[in-house]
């Protein structure tokens, strides 16, 4: 391949990977055509992108970015996964696929990068156990609403007891 063609491919790859700072690197070599199509369909349904890249071209395209450092330490062919609603959801889905040896026996997590930090496959497995953005928001809302509901219960408690006693007295007088 000529330098000119490599330059064009690198430029195109750079534009596709431009907005990607947090990504996971996976191995998809060894999947047959049907498995590959099913994998891509599953990922697309969850808004996850998957691109098989030539490591040297991807490294040149993302030179100076956190993704380039993650690519530099990888050997062999690989694919870049990005997207989903947040990074934790991405790691949960990729870890689930990695553990699904029945449908995707050759799929393997190899590493990644999050907030400029290079991740190992073990670290990705740890991150997949964190609460996702939706789970974190529901926890936060519960913590915000908890003191208010406790206050309302404390205010209503004595009033409800008094109303109950008045009702009992009024029913007893009849």
Question: How is the chain split into domains, by residue range?
Answer: 3-130, 131-174
Express each pLDDT in 96-148 by its tens digit.
998 887 888 888 888 888 888 888 889 999 999 998 888 889 989 988 888 88
Answer yes or no: are the C-beta atoms of 79 and 124 closer than 8 Å.
Answer: no
- Decide which of 160 and 98 is more confident: 98
Tokens describing residue 46: 């969850």
Q: Report the CATH superfamily, name and number, of domain 3-130.
A: Ribosomal protein L10, N-terminal RNA-binding domain (3.30.70.1730)
Q: Which tens digits make up the pLDDT trace of 63-81?
A: 777 777 777 777 777 888 9
pLDDT at 162: 82
pLDDT score at 173: 58
Q: Model pTM?
A: 0.72
List the one residue out of 51, 64, 65, 66 whose CA is nearest residue 13.
51
């Amino acid at each position: 391949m000529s330098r000119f063609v490599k330059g064009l491919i690198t430029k195109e790859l750079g534009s596709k990977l431009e907005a990607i700072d947090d990504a996971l690197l996976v191995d998809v070599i060894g999947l047959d055509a049907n498995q590959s199509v099913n994998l891509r369909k599953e990922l697309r349904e969850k808004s996850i992108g998957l691109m098989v890249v030539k490591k040297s071209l991807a490294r040149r395209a993302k030179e100076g970015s956190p993704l380039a450092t993650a690519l530099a330490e990888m050997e062999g062919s690989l694919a870049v996964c990005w997207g989903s609603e947040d990074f934790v959801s991405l790691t949960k889905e990729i870890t689930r696929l990695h553990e699904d040896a029945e449908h995707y026996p050759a799929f393997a997590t190899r590493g990644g990068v999050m907030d400029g930090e290079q991740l190992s496959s073990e670290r990705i497995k740890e991150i997949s156990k964190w609460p996702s953005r939706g789970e974190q928001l529901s926890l936060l809302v519960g913590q915000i609403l908890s003191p208010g509901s406790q206050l309302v219960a404390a205010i209503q408690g004595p009033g409800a007891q008094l109303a109950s006693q008045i009702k009992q007295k009024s029913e007893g007088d009849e």
